[in-house]
Amino acid sequence: MALVRSLNSGVSGMQQLQQAMDVIGNNIANANTTGYKVARVSFEDSFSQTLRAASPGTATSSNSAPVQVGTGVNTSAIQTIFSQGASAVTGNTGNGDAEDLFISGNGYFVVRDPLNGNQYVSRAGDFHFDEKGYLVTHNNFHVQGYSETAATATPDTPNTSIIGDLRLTDPSRTSPISSYNIDEQGLINVTLADGSHFVRGQILLQRFQSPQALVKEGNNLFSGLIAAGPLGGATPIPAAPGAANGLGTIQAGALELSNIDLANEFANLITTQRSFRANAKIITTSDEMLQDVINLKR
């Protein structure tokens, strides 16, 4: 029955718009989340019922168009927009309590869960050095890079033979650390109390051919690295920051804000709400028409 089709269309519209409202609400809730990437909902029409098929023209008649009635709407995709957020200068760097880092480019920090060894990527650079000297996230995942495990003969270059957890302290050096800084290439430059200096390690970044394949895991982390096409392919290998490889450079003492446009989100909120009401009206109107049909027998 035709009215049943309109009921189904209205119901499908309300269901998909409720899902869109969930996405918009989550975007607004994360407006102040470091490195958050906004999500966008895309719709597509669902299967159409063909009442009359199309037919080609002949020598004596013109072609005829099909007669079809749609049956509603579906959600085709919920995309994450990976455009870079604005930089917020915090000044938190080199004091050991907080180490805020901002990526100016397309790279991602690589972090490792020390409990199971799983690796994730993140745009949020709100790190700190823990009591053992490791550079970690708020949930104690270890930031990855070229890690020097002992003193080297070339103190101004990182030890590129080992990729692992970055650690500020070095048990092989007896003099305590006087100061340190992280430069735009991700190099951790350390100065000791005896006046000597060396590079303790280097933060590495990763980038992807298809970041849309990354999976949000919460805590500003993404998984699904292989599916997204990382550097190194099936065995992802991060690389040193730099403009030449598209990874970008690192700015210490700053954080990436979310890329949410609140004005746009509130506009989407209003249009989604109006569309939801319109679909609800379809249901109530179809119900009234069905009631009129039922009452014809009286």
pLDDT digits over 228-261, tens only?
999 988 899 999 998 777 899 999 999 999 999 9
49-53, 84-88, 154-158, 279-283: lowest mean pLDDT where? 154-158
Question: Model confidence over 44-66: pLDDT tens digits?
Answer: 998 888 888 888 888 888 888 88
Question: Model confidence over 134-148: pLDDT tens digits?
Answer: 999 999 999 999 987
Query: Quick one: which of 211, 153, 158, 151 has its CA closest to 175?
Result: 151
* Average pLDDT score over residue span 97-118: 94
Question: Model confidence over 64-96: pLDDT tens digits?
Answer: 888 888 889 999 999 999 999 999 999 888 766
| Residue ranges per structural domain of the chain | 2-83+260-297, 87-256
Amino acid symbol at 264:
N
pTM equals: 0.86
